[in-house]
Amino acid sequence: MNNKRTSVKTDNGLIIVCENLESNPHCPHGPTLLYKRMSGGKETRQYYACSSYQNRKDCSFMFSNKTVEERKRQIVIKERKRLFPGDFTELGERLERLKMLKPSERFFCATCSTLIFLEEQNEHTEHILKNDVTDHLLTHPSQLLLLQSDSKREAQFMFSVNAVEVILSGLKALNFNKIICMGTPTIHERIMENKDGMESILLDIDHRYLQFYASGQFCWFNMMNCFPMKGQHTFDRVVDFLHSDNVVVLMDPPFSARSEPLAYTLTKLDSIYQQQMRENPLPVVWIFPYFKEKDIVSARPDMVMLDYDVKYTNHKKFNESDKTSVIRIFTNQDASKFALPDSEGYRFCKKCNRWVSKHNKHCDKCKICPSKNGQPYKHCDICGRCIKQSWQHCYECNRCALLKHPCHLWQTRIVQKQEKTVVKDAIKRKPTMKISKAAKKRMKPNERSKPI
């Protein structure tokens, strides 16, 4: 699996380096990432910070260099223990005891997010208690837990019923029967419920799932640095899965997550998978916004984007209403086998050999079904590619854009870029050569500065 690129420039001028994470200082969520702040092309500051929580109030640990004094290391260890102080054996026993009880004798404290027994109620006075925890709820914790929907945190958005069906039938059609559900609790719950020849294990940063599953069914895991939060031994069943045939990693990370740390984790998992002398890379199904396609493909060139519009039950915008969502499925598997529902207007394009959305018409000039956002596209003969219907070709800055676009700014940028290139070329050829004003004027703005 190709993961040559190990750093990525983020929108706010931060470069994230994902190399040898094991040797980076740890925060309570495992190895930190090295962030380099850039300004005017120069590095102004570098520091190590949490891989998972973007907001410092959610994880305040920050280190200026690799060596961390023992006192601070002890604080981190203490903090990690504080995140989840329970022990696995005790949790397993509690779950077994709860299963034996009638739903009316099972309680869930929404304030503490814990399952409790009748006799423990007085430890939760003035808390919000839920009674009648049915067998269904006990095996579908995502329907019981209060979900964290902050996009800079866990971003717990659960798939719509249709999305679950499409993903599961795609996995079945591709013959996978061991599913590593990374941040996909709903699919894990469905597989555990059906047991139709599929097995699954959930990997998630939300430790509240620990109380609902036996140890081989859930691993408290950080997918931004491939870190099992309760020790390597909790990862044993994941390794067993990776050593089996017909295994796939299904992941739905928070939309705001960077692709590089995620690609780092996939590379780590792939190296375990390859211990069995495989001919192909680890199969992956990755759910992410379509506008991050470039990031995904540059980190993992074997991934292709499917047209399916992934919707959620509890997302403000990307819910089951008629509005289209920006979330798509990416995979390194045969896209033709990932059938999309014709009842929702998807159709199979024979020329592209994949399922496409209703308005995604095949362009014989581009030789693809070009639409990324599910809306119709049209071909621009000057740019030689398909663009959104609402765009048109602008002869001033020589690119396709919305009618209202910063034309002058783009023209200036193009000229500046060209000047730089000409100066560079001139220096290469003849170090003292000057470029005349007339020559600069002759330069035509014919370069695209931004991707469509």
Ligand X SMILES: C[S@@+](CC[C@H](N)C(=O)[O-])C[C@H]1O[C@@H](n2cnc3c(N)ncnc32)[C@H](O)[C@@H]1O
Give me the residues that bind Zn ion (CB under 5 A), please. Answer: 27, 29, 50, 59, 109, 111-112, 124, 127, 349, 351-352, 362-363, 365-366, 369, 379-380, 382-383, 386, 393-394, 396-397, 400, 407
Rounded to whole angstroms, the Cα distance separating 129 from 96 reads 21
Residue 252 binds to ligand X (criterion: CB under 6 A): yes
The interface mask with ligand X, positions 338-367, x = CB under 6 A, is ------------------------------
**Which of residues 49, 155, 166, 263 is near ligand X by CB under 6 A?**
155
Nearer to ligand X, 320 or 419 (CB): 320
- Tokens standing for residue 381: 């003969």
Task: Choose from Zn ion, ligand X, none: what does 339 bind? Cβ within 5-8 Å by kind.
Answer: none
Task: Choose from ligand X, Zn ion, none: what does 185 bind? Cβ within 5-8 Å by kind.
Answer: ligand X
Residue 158 binds to ligand X (criterion: CB under 6 A): yes
Closest CA relative to residue 423, chosen from 414, 411, 435 = 435
- Report whether 91 contacts 211 (CB < 8 A): yes
Question: DSSP assignment, residue 429?
Answer: H
Residue 205 binds to ligand X (criterion: CB under 6 A): yes
Minimal distance, residue 206 CB to ligand X, in Å = 4
Close Cβ partners of 27 (under 8 Å, ≥ 6 residues apart): 49, 50, 51, 59, 61, 76
Neighbour-count burial for 219-247, b at 16+ CB within 10 Å, e otherwise: bbbbbbbbbbbbeeebbebbeebbeeeeb
Residue 141 binds to ligand X (criterion: CB under 6 A): no
**Which of residues 50, 138, 187, 242 is near ligand X by CB under 6 A?**
187
Rounded to whole angstroms, the Cα distance separating 80 from 77 reads 5
Residue 32 binds to ligand X (criterion: CB under 6 A): no
Residue 157 binds to ligand X (criterion: CB under 6 A): yes
Residue 52 binds to ligand X (criterion: CB under 6 A): yes
Minimal distance, residue 253 CB to ligand X, in Å = 6
Residue 445 binds to ligand X (criterion: CB under 6 A): no
- Tokens standing for residue 170: 């795609």
- Tokens standing for residue 251: 């992941």
Minimal distance, residue 228 CB to ligand X, in Å = 11
CA angle 107, 108, 109 (to 5 degrees): 120
Residue 28 binds to ligand X (criterion: CB under 6 A): no
The interface mask with ligand X, positions 212-251, x = CB under 6 A, is ---------xxxx---------------------------
- DSSP-assigned letters across all residues of 303-372: -EE------BSS-SSSSSSSS--SEEEEESS-GGGS---GGGT-EEETTTTEEE-TT-PPBTTTTB---S
Q: Which amino acid is at 84?
A: F
Alpha carbons within 13 A on the beta-carbon side of 376: 5
- DSSP-assigned letters across all residues of 385-399: EEEETTEEEETTTTE
Residue 184 binds to ligand X (criterion: CB under 6 A): yes
Minimal distance, residue 128 CB to ligand X, in Å = 21
Task: Choose from ligand X, Zn ion, none: what does 155 bind? Cβ within 5-8 Å by kind.
Answer: ligand X
Task: Choose from ligand X, Zn ion, none: what does 221 bind? Cβ within 5-8 Å by kind.
Answer: ligand X
Alpha carbons within 13 A on the beta-carbon side of 205: 23
Counting residues that bind ligand X (by CB under 6 A) gives 22
Strand-pairing partners, residue 354, are: 349
**Which of residues 24, 32, 54, 156 is near ligand X by CB under 6 A?**
156
Rounded to whole angstroms, the Cα distance separating 157 from 150 reads 10
Minimal distance, residue 133 CB to ligand X, in Å = 20
Nearer to ligand X, 156 or 332 (CB): 156
Q: Which residues bind ligand X (CB under 6 A)?
A: 52, 154-159, 183-187, 204-206, 221-224, 252-254
